[in-house]
Structure 1
């Protein structure tokens, strides 16, 4: 069991400093579809296993446009705003329905504006991932001391849901590998 614990610790340690690009870190230049997909993939592969979950495809992007989740591209080019939406959608679709994501994005955008909503989402997602990484590392949990404003409850809960799902998947995967090793050693 010590080997399993060490592997889980190592996984937590590898992601404890996970970073999502803030609005001002996203490309200023407009991008083509394949560039957007590559960029979103680079941002999210540390936390979404591409062998289990498809990150983003051109048909997904086109569907998000059709559903009104992201604005249509201009002359087949995508802006920083598109990339921000796609990062959030790709993470959130791991734990929410498309309609819930659309409603949540529209709500947060109206409350604090798209730029601030995106930055808040990134900050909360990083905190949630860090929290589960610390759990994996056996570090004491830090509890919230501030009251959470009602308009931020959905963001906090969704990001925590994704992070917890990430941890559960990793622990189950490692436990299965550990059991397989144990069976072969007997």
Structure 2
């Protein structure tokens, strides 16, 4: 197995789109794709994996994961939401992402999306630090008869942790759904 520190560095976990990297002008879809490809290309698993495509963006818009686009141009707020969708789609279903972001989309004019997104970036940065520490600690405790079996135990451990985090996130989405249901019936 390769050096775990090298593997963690190859993941580019710190790679996030910051509000400062988004132009102060609205962008066309091709410009949005180019921005995301440039920013997240190193984070993909292989060269064939696309960060963002026209189809994905159109599906996000049709699925109401984004508030309406005006004149085929995407605002800074749209790009921040697309960045959040990019982060969420690795774990949550499109339906769960829609539920999670629905309140933001419905109240986009009343929310300080820049501040909200900066809070997310702070949390993400802290999560990366703790994740790396946790992975190193966990992997140092795993011992098996062969390197191959150790490698498989590493994978199983990470997948198990991932599943626990995903299930917890899904339960939190379910709470949003439950709250919305109560609000709509009142």
1:12 matches 2:12: no
Superposed CA deviations along residues 35-79 of structure 1, whole A, max 9, x for unmatched, are 101111222233332557542111111111112111333222211
Query: How big is the alpha-carbon RMSD for the aligned residues of Structure 1 and Structure 2?
Result: 3.4
Unaligned residue ranges in structure 2 (runs of 5+) = 139-160, 167-186
Which protein is bigger by CA-based radius of gyration?
Answer: 2
Question: Quick one: distance in 2 between partners of 1:28 and 1:98?
Answer: 28
Q: For residues 132-181 of structure 1, give each alpha carbon's deviation from its aligned partner in whole angstroms, at most 9, with x where no partner exists.
A: 33345559xxxxxxxxxxxxxxxxxxxx959x89xxxxxxxxxxxxxxxx
Q: 2:83 aligns with which of 82, 87, 95?
A: 87
Aligned to 1:115: 114
Contact 1:16 1:134 in 2 (8 A): no
With structure 2 as the length reference, what TM-score do the two structures score? 0.60
> Deviation at 1:22?
2.8
Partner of 2:67: 71
**Contact in 1 for aligned 2:19/2:80 (Cα 8 Å):** yes
The corresponding residue for 2:173 is: none
Partner of 1:134: 133
Contact 2:28–2:72 (CA<8 Å) still a contact in 1?
yes
Q: Which residue pairs with 1:29 in the alignment? A: 25
Deviation of 1:107 after TM superposition, in Å, equals 4.1
Q: Which has the higher contact order (CA 8 A, sep 6+)?
A: 1
CA drift at 1:122: 2.4
Q: Is the 8 A contact 1:16 1:133 kept in 2?
A: no
